[in-house]
Amino acid sequence: MDKFIIEGGERLKGRVRISGSKNAALPLIAATILQKGSYAIGNVPRLRDVETMIRLLAMLGGKAEWTGDNTLAIDTGSLDNHVAPYEIVKEMRASVLVLGSLAGGLKKATVSYPGGCAIGERPINLHLQGLAALGCDIKIREGYVDVNAKKLRGGRVTFDTVTVGGTENIMMAAALAKGETVIENAAREPEVVDLARMLKRMGARIEGEGSEVVRIRGVEALAPCDYEVIPDRIEAGTFIVACGITRGNIVVENCNPLHLKAVIEKMKEAGMEIEESDSTVKAIMSRKRPISVDAKTIPHPGFPTDMQAQIMALMSVSKGVSAITETIFENRMMHVAELRRMGADIRVIGNTAIVKGVERLSGAKVMATDLRASASLIIAGLAAYGSTEVSRIYHIDRGYEKIEEKLKGLGAKIRRKKDEDLGA
Ligand code: UD1
């Protein structure tokens, strides 16, 4: 297993280019199942999760190949299998995103029931309730969800919790259902809006994406299209926070500042100067120590749960005391114990972490437990005194494209140590 070795203390400076969004790309790839044909999707990040989705598509009878650095040519002309097996779903929960498109496209889906993961239980009850409201017959047997969508029709779906994946699955199934579907308490995340945009380009009739109520009028058939994935707002936010902790000065290119409002506001409160243009964010911390701020994770447009671990790393060296509350996932504080090993002063009460900023963290051997926790440990390592070794970085490879190259480009001292080097 690879590790990152980070020598802390370098201020980040320069320009960094943000990749396409992982969480947008995954449902967009799944959407190609809805309509047989050829698609070209651009700005797709080359990540382990994307490769897993490509493998799943191949298992279903589709084909996908890279035709440029970040362009994926997809052919679903002969896609005819409706089974997403355990082996793939256990590797990546987002595999459940084929539920909606298989139900819409093939009128049946058999998908391994996902288990919990490091950050929480993450049930899929709302996805299933939604599909049932659209006339699907659902059975759970031998660890699989069996969806019979022969009678797929529009319906009213009211989510009692905002769910990104659930909203996406229902939008996809509803695109090819008979009649109108109304999703209430829909997720408003930019990735949901991106999926709606691609579906509309394919001929779907969708209104209200990005608001709490999304209306989809089903059509008889869709048409394949070419599409460009939006920039990854979480990657952009991670670099902005990394700049903050190293008291640096960077320009984040190819991002959408409108998707980053909550993070930008928080960083301004923490003392960062920020200048935005259409597609760049200039983040200026200029040797200043960050100020402690409170943060609470809330579905978009609130502060994203996927940035909680990173802001906590920043708060661990900020001036003052901050309270960070996680409201989306029940077990998303695994990074706390690792940050403490680096000298952070953090106490967890219920779902709130009380972070008392220390002058400096010290390098240590730490272990990544999930994707965003890994990002927080790297951020902490960048500012720590001495050397930090982050192990189990396969988590980071799931979601950050070329992170060490990008950080090196900004002046960080970080290198990847391959497993075989470790004994040497
Ligand atoms: C997506 C993102 C993930 C992000 C999360 C919240 C992808 C691939 N992943 O995950 O990075 O952290 O949104 O912004 O886009 N829930 C239920 N029942 C359900 C579905 C969800 O109770 O059927 C709960 C979950 O346990 C969680 C909350 O709803 O507490 C939000 O989850 P959801 O928005 O569905 O997250 P994902 O789509 O899995």
Read off the pLDDT of each residue in 126-150 and give the average, rounded to a whole number: 97
Centre of ligand 1 from the C-alpha of residue 348, in Å: 23
List of E strands, 202-278: 205-207, 213-217, 226-228, 249-253, 273-276
- DSSP 8-state code for residue 347: E
Best residue for ligand 1 mutational test, from 328, 330, 371, 396 (most atoms within 8 Å of Cβ): 328
Best CA proximity match to 84, nearest among 129, 163, 152, 145? 145
**pLDDT of 15 higher than 70:** yes
The active-site residue, picked from 117, 136, 243, 255, is: 117
Q: How many helices (H) and strands (E) does the chain have?
A: 14, 24
Global confidence as pTM: 0.97
Q: Distance between CA 104 and CA 232 in Å, rounded?
A: 27
pLDDT band at residue 54 under the 50/70/90 scheme:
very high
**Which atom of ligand 1 is closest in space to residue 330's alpha carbon?**
30
User: Tell me, what's the pLDDT at 119?
Assistant: 74
Instruction: Ligand 1, residue 94: give the atom nearest the CA.
Output: 8
The three-point CA angle 324-325-330 to 5° equals 130
User: Measured at the alpha carbon of residue 369, what is the angle toward residues 367 and 370, in degrees to the nearest 5?
Assistant: 135
Q: Cα(first)–Cα(last) distance of the chain, in Å?
A: 15
Beta bridge partners of 274: 283
Mean residue pLDDT of the chain comes to 96
Cβ 140 vs Cβ 94: under 8 Å: no
Could you give all domains of the chain from N- to C-terminal order, each with its CATH number? 3-19+231-422 (3.65.10.10), 22-228 (3.65.10.10)
- Mean of pLDDT values over 138-156: 96
Ligand 1 neighbours by CB, cut-off 6 Å: 23, 26, 94, 120-127, 161, 163-166, 187, 191, 305-306, 328-329
| C-alpha of residue 5 to centroid of ligand 1, in Å | 31
Model pLDDT for residues 93-137, shown as the tens digit of each residue = 999 999 999 999 999 999 999 876 777 778 899 999 999 999 999
Supply φ then ψ for residue 312, to 5 degrees: -65, -40
pLDDT digits (tens, 9 = 90+) for 322-367: 999 999 998 899 999 999 999 999 999 999 999 999 999 999 999 9
Best of 23, 164, 371 for a ligand 1 pocket test (most atoms within 8 Å of beta carbon): 164
Between the alpha carbon of residue 233 and those of residues 17, 141, 216, 242, 369, the distances in Å are 12, 38, 26, 14, 21
pLDDT digits (tens, 9 = 90+) for 55-79: 999 999 999 999 989 999 999 999 9
> Phi first, then psi: what are they for 139, rounded to 5°?
-130, 145
Does the annotation mark 225 as catalytic? no
Give yes or no for a contact between 222 and 34, defined as CB atoms under 8 angstroms apart: yes
pLDDT digits over 179-204, tens only? 999 999 999 999 999 999 999 999 99
* Amino acid residing at 60: L
